[in-house]
């Protein structure tokens, strides 16, 4: 992980703890990453999570959309 990835990880944890009762899910699939401040209970929940080709892309999308919550 790069220093930027570590900073992004720390920001994800901070937002999860502050705004989402600590919930943070990070999934790595063959073709993409999914990140959300939820505990997915079904496939549709995963589909609604922020998606990116890289950890950083998915994380930045998750952080951006969390500001709308």
Among 51, 47, 61, 52, CA closest to 15:
61
Domain that holds residue 50: 3-66
pTM of the model as a whole: 0.88
pLDDT at 56 over 90: yes
In this predicted model, what pLDDT tens digit does every residue of 5-46 receive, in sequence order? 999 999 999 999 999 999 999 999 999 999 999 999 999 999
Contacts of 38 (CB under 8 A, 6+ apart): 20, 23, 25, 45, 48, 49
Total domains, the chain = 1
pLDDT at 68 over 80: no
């Amino acid at each position: 992980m790069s220093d930027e990835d570590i900073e992004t990880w720390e920001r994800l944890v901070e937002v999860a703890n502050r705004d989402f009762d600590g919930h943070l899910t990070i999934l790595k699939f063959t073709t993409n990453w999914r990140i959300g401040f939820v505990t997915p209970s079904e496939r549709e929940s995963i589909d609604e999570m922020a998606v990116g080709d890289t950890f950083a892309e998915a994380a930045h999308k998750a952080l951006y959309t969390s500001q709308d919550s």
